[in-house]
Structure formats: C-alpha cells, structure tokens
Amino acid sequence: MDHASAEQTAPRTGTELEGRRILVVGVGGIGAAVVRRLVGRGATVFGTYHSRSGPAEELGASLPEGRWAGAAGLDATDPAAVAAVAGPGGAAERAMGGMDTLVVTTGHRHGLGFFAASDPQQTAEVVATELLGPMNLVRAVLPALQESGFGRIVIVGSDSGKAGTLGDAASSAARAGVAGFVRAMARETARKDITVNVVSPGPTGTEMLAGMLADDGLAGKVMKGTVKAIPKGRTGEPEEIAEAVAYLVGPYAGFTTGQVLSVSGGLTM
C-alpha cells in the first residue's frame, strides 16, 4: 500500500483502514471498543490479553470473519515475551502477514492509597506495567515499522498523568512518563512517517470505574469527586476513546505526532 497517497486521497467511507494490520495490546474494556472500531473500518487486528483468554475469544467470535487474526497472552513487563508476540517474526506478524500499527491499552489494577504508606513492590509493579510495558512494546515493533517507512503507534494512557490523582501517585507518574516517552519517540521517528501519540481518557464507563465508584474507601471518594468535576457532566464511553484512537491511526492524522489527546469531557482543559 502507498500510505502517503492513501493519506491524501482516502475517502471517509468507513473502510479507510482497509489493508491495515494492527496489534492491540489489552482487549478488555476500552481495548475491546478499540478493536471493534478498527475492525469496523476495515483493519485486520491481532489482540493480546494479560491472563484471561475468555473475553478475547468472545470478542473475536463477535467480529466479521477474516478481520480477527487471533490473540495471545502477554505480560508487557517481560521484554522477551513482548518480542515473541510483537517483535519481528513474532506471533502478531505471523498471524496477520505483517504489522503496521500498535495500540497499547494496558493498565495496572490496584486500589488507591496515600503514597507515604504505599507498598514499594506495588509501586514498582504499577510503573512496570504502565510505563515500562509500553516502552517494551514500542521497542519491539519499531524495527519493522522503520524498515517499511510507515507506522502508527497509539498508547492509551490516563489524564491522571496531566492532573495527578489523589491516592494514585505511582500511576500518575507512570502516565506522565508515557507522555514524555511518546514525545521523544515522535522526534526519533517522524522522518520515517511513523507517528507516536497518546490518547488520554478521563473517567470512562468501564467495569473498573464502576468498581471504584462503588468503593466505600478512598477510591470511591476520589472517583466520585472526579466525576462530579467533569464539565460535560458525565463519564466517557469506551467508544469515544476508540474513536480518538481510530483517528490517530487513520489516514487523516499523518501530520499529528508527539501529542497527548485528552478525551475527558473537559476535565483537564
């Protein structure tokens, strides 16, 4: 595919991702919405899950035939495991016959608590998952993208990286780190027609958010207060995050790189 020509001439028909081969890391919650949106626009997708294969299998079964290339378990904090799935000759490339786009939606599930009383081991796990994990994935896919002279990378982060979340210092730091990493990668790759961006959601209607809102402790208080502060007066929908991802990987965003796009109802404007 002549990607430069496609970016200039592709009509907005709903098939603008036809021929694209996309790895989506983390296909639960927001990740599932991302997969549906990308497949709906013509892409072929390979997904990963952390520990439970069932949701990935159900997602794949719901998609049009030929658009879902399968899924593999993946711990993004393990560079060797990442290389085996996302690197040259890895599972994603083999399943799709190549790969031109990476979307990362992984996050670490944890409760909230004040940093002075936090567990250093959990802090390390959060940073490893939410910062080092995306770094491992980008390192793995870059050689093939640079060789082909085209690529799109989107990391789904969190607006906690902009505003900081009370009781969630490690995650806020990791998400802020992702923004700096993406800007550096955008500078390194721009001449190769590779774009690297972040989609930064605010509170979004997922199972994880529902659990936090139902919490009687600090997590519930913080999330209720955060939701109340959203100027739009509601939480986001996973499909709204997916639409932002689809734009950044699509044929109309080739001049957009190194950016953090907040999809948060105005929470951090």
Name the residue ranges covered by the structural domains of the chain: 17-263
Q: What pLDDT does residue 34 have?
A: 97
Q: Which fold does the domain 17-263 belong to in CATH?
A: Rossmann fold (3.40.50)
pLDDT string in tens for the chain (269-residue length) = 445 444 444 444 578 999 999 999 999 889 999 999 999 999 999 999 998 899 999 999 999 999 999 999 999 999 999 999 999 999 999 999 999 999 999 999 888 889 999 999 999 999 999 999 999 999 999 999 999 999 999 999 999 899 888 888 999 999 999 999 999 999 999 999 999 999 999 889 777 767 777 888 888 888 889 888 899 999 889 999 999 999 999 999 999 999 999 999 999 98
SS3 70: strand
pTM of the model: 0.91
Nearest alpha-carbon partner for 182 in 240, 89, 102: 102
Do the beta carbons of residue 3 and residue 250 sit within 8 Å?
Answer: no
Q: What pLDDT does residue 132 have?
A: 98
Mutual angle of helices 54-61 and 30-40, in 10-degree steps:
20
Q: What pLDDT does residue 211 have?
A: 78
Nearest alpha-carbon partner for 153 in 171, 170, 136: 136
Q: What pLDDT does residue 13 have?
A: 53
Query: What is the 8-class DSSP label of residue 236?
Result: B
Q: What pLDDT does residue 245 have?
A: 98
Do the beta carbons of residue 167 and residue 113 sit within 8 Å?
Answer: yes
